[in-house]
Every structure is written in C-alpha cells, then in structure tokens.
Structure 1
C-alpha cells in the first residue's frame, strides 16, 4: 500500500497553507487543509488529523477529517497516552501495526477497541527544534502502513511545521490586539458614562464611577453594557 507522494502534490498542499498564512486565516483553517491532504495522499486511510500541543502536552488545536479521528484523539488526550502523544514526546515517527495488540498504550488500545482503528502512523511537527504537535493517519485494517508511510508523513511534517509555527505566531499579536482594542473601548464607554452621571448629578469622577458600578450591579447588567445604554441615551434599568 506504499505510495510516494508526487512532489507537485506536496507543493500544492504547502502553497495552500501559505495562502492561508498570507490571508491571515486562523491556525485551525491551515490544520484542516493539511489533514485533508494527508488523508487523500495515504492509501487505505479512513481518517487523518493534526494535533497542536503546548509544552505540557495539552491540546491547543485539533484538525480531523472524520469523526473516528476525533474520537481516537480525544481518548489519547483523556488517558494521557497514545501514538500521537508518543510521537510528540519522542519527536519521532510512531508506527502501529495493530492498535488492539500493541503493548505500548494498553489503556488507549482498550479504549479504541470499539472503533474501526487498527493501524496508525503519527509523525511529529518540528519547527526550530520545537515540537508543535503531530500528524496522524488511521486505517481500519492491521498492518496497513509501513516505514515508507512514515517517511511520507514526514514529507508533510517538515514544511508544514514551519508554516504552522508562523501562522501561530501571526495569530498571537492579532489576538492581543483584539483584546486590547476591546479593553480600550470598554474603558472609553465607562469614562463617558461616568461623565454623564457627573454632569447629571454633580458628582466627582470617583463618585460617578462608584454610582455607575452600583447601578449596574442593581440592574444585574455588565458594567460595559450598562455604560453603553446610559451613553446611548436610553434610560438604563436601575436609574
């Protein structure tokens, strides 16, 4: 069942991920593209996925092509063992001929006994000497994969890890920026609402803030929402 992935197909996949990076799509989008491409490239595969893990092995992002992948992965995260977590920890490709009899992960092997999963290959995603997570493919029959399947997965992993690390990095400042903008907007609304109370009731700044917080609490409304209602000129509940 071995099949060498044509270089033009691999290049096409990487180009699609680069396109996501250039359009500032989220990490999850790039992960989904990669998972689908892996499933299509590896014969006999019933499902593929990409797990991004933090330094403690906690999942930060997960892309899967089929429900069975989601189920098998969730059991790995829950039990703390499995081929994907081992590939990440050892930073080496893991090949499983039969998940039902492999002695390396007894809890996980028993847990997936009811799923159509027998063969597994998982390869680490390594960028700048840091392991970000792992790629994985699942097959429904034993011994569906070989060492050449592992090499095929590694062909995806090397460039994909670099690109995914860049996408992750680009997401961080954007999220920080969004949070900061939201925080500044909230502060501005609250200041303006305090100004309304100061003018309306002749209060000082601190008194107005305390009055605003008290009214919002009595109304059972978040401070930002209460401030928005007050500034908008609609009588706020609790006034």
Structure 2
C-alpha cells in the first residue's frame, strides 16, 4: 500500500499510533513512520513544547538531536518557529536561509541540507512539532509529499495528545492513591481526620518546598514524615 495514493494506508498508520498509550512510545513510532513515509527524511525527531521550553521527546539519531538542541539554544530555527506559530515550515537550504542566520549555518555543519517542521497542535495551541532533516539541499520540494506529511502530522498530533492525556490521568490517579494511603497512615497514627491529615501533608509540602505527592510517597515508603 502506498499512502500517497491510498488513504486507507495512511489510516492504517494512524491506527498503529492510537494503539500506543505512552507518550514516549507514541513519539518514537511517529519518528519511525515518518522516516519511511517522506522521501529524503534522513533524520527525524519530535519536539515537545511545555511552558515555553522545548525538549526532544524522540529522535532517529544524534544528528536530529543535535539539530534540535541548536534550535533550542539559539531560540531560532524551523521547529522553534513551527511550535510558536502552529504552522508548518520548510527550508530547502538551511545554510543560507535568512530566517535563521545563526542556526542555519551551524545546522549545515552538522550535515543538514534541508528541513521540514510540521506543527503538532493540541487544543488549538502549540504542542510540538515533527522535525524532518535531509542531508541534501533542495529537499521536501514536492508539494504532494509535503501534503501527505501534513495529513499524517494531523493524525500524529491527536495520537500524541491522547497519549499525553492518558499519561497525565494515570499520574493523577496514582498521586491520589498515594496521598490517600499517606492520609490513612496519619489518621491511624495520630488520630487525625481526613481533612487535617491532608492539611498536614500540605504544610510539610510547603515547608520542604516539594509536592504533596512526594511527601506522601516518602511517608508511604519509609513510614516517616520528612524531617522526622
């Protein structure tokens, strides 16, 4: 099946994405699939934007990671721009692209000739981007191939957002469970009420400048309160 001519093939790729439930696994699968889907995709990575900071969630190799890190450090480049504007960005020759006078020449030294960044929005806001780097200049010029990659990126954005939401919910449920266990220990040991036991955890959290969840974890693990 050729995704370029068979929409069912693209849907099949998307189905594989939705079958993953961990953000890291989903991101790695996106990297693997886009590498075989887009001609000239020699190096691929996923950038995640969180609270204005960028991080590489998955990458095909060191070149992709280094090209990403340069963008984060210099605060310029296609993925930085893509995650800020929620638009896709292409450069056929990064070394001479006037949009990124610092990143472009240094990326060319890494061996990057062309770049394509595809935005991955979450709820209409920037979530991250798929970064595709080619070793040769002039890459990603075929509009049909770019449109295919953008269609795939739309599926990838939803799959990654879904995996991140599921992970956040699992973490939240786990935190509530641990906090509940810690409250049970305090209620049994000191005769506190449910409300006062949580207030104590919250005061200790503020005193030790850590999260309530971490205070609860320590109490459940060691049987001792922080500082005791």
Q: Within 5 Å, which residues of 2 pair with 1:178-197? A: 178-192=174-188
Gaps of 5+ in 2: 192-199, 205-217
Query: Structure 1 160/225 Cα, relative in aligned 2: closer, same or farther at 3 Å?
Result: closer
TM-score (norm 2): 0.75
Shift of 1:42: 1.2
Alignment equivalent of 2:46, drawn from 42, 45, 50: 50
Give the corresponding residue for 2:212.
none
Residues 49 and 64 in structure 1, CA contact (< 8 A), matched pair in contact too: yes
Residues 86 and 125 in structure 2, CA contact (< 8 A), matched pair in contact too: no
For residues 73 and 57 of structure 1, the distance between their equivalents in structure 2, rounded to whole angstroms, comes to 15
For residues 81 and 127 of structure 2, the distance between their equivalents in structure 1, rounded to whole angstroms, comes to 13
Give the corresponding residue for 1:100.
95
Please give the per-residue CA displacement for 1:132-179, whole angstroms capped at 9, x wherever unaligned.
221121111111221524222211112222232222222222111111
Residues 56 and 68 in structure 2, CA contact (< 8 A), matched pair in contact too: no
Give the corresponding residue for 2:210.
none
Give the corresponding residue for 1:216.
none
Alignment equivalent of 1:153, drawn from 141, 146, 149: 149
TM-score (norm 1): 0.72
Q: Secondary structure at the match of 1:29?
A: helix
Shift of 1:192: 4.8
Alignment equivalent of 2:79, drawn from 78, 84, 95: 84
Residues 119 and 129 in structure 2, CA contact (< 8 A), matched pair in contact too: yes
Q: Secondary structure at the match of 1:137?
A: strand
Give the corresponding residue for 1:64.
59
For residues 87 and 164 of structure 2, the distance between their equivalents in structure 1, rounded to whole angstroms, comes to 22
Structure with max Cα Rg: 1
Residues 190 and 224 in structure 1, CA contact (< 8 A), matched pair in contact too: no
Give the corresponding residue for 1:199.
none
Which 10-residue stretch deviates more, 5-14 or 71-80?
Answer: 5-14
The alignment's C-alpha RMSD in Å is 2.9
Alignment equivalent of 2:173, drawn from 170, 177, 182: 177
Residues 127 and 158 in structure 1, CA contact (< 8 A), matched pair in contact too: no
Shift of 1:4: 3.2
Q: How many residues align?
A: 201
Query: Structure 1 10/69 Cα, relative in aligned 2: closer, same or farther at 3 Å?
Result: same
Give the corresponding residue for 1:4.
4
Give the corresponding residue for 1:167.
163
Give the corresponding residue for 2:132.
137
Give the corresponding residue for 1:32.
28
Gaps of 5+ in 1: 196-208, 214-221, 229-237
Residues 93 and 150 in structure 1, CA contact (< 8 A), matched pair in contact too: no
Residues 5 and 41 in structure 1, CA contact (< 8 A), matched pair in contact too: no
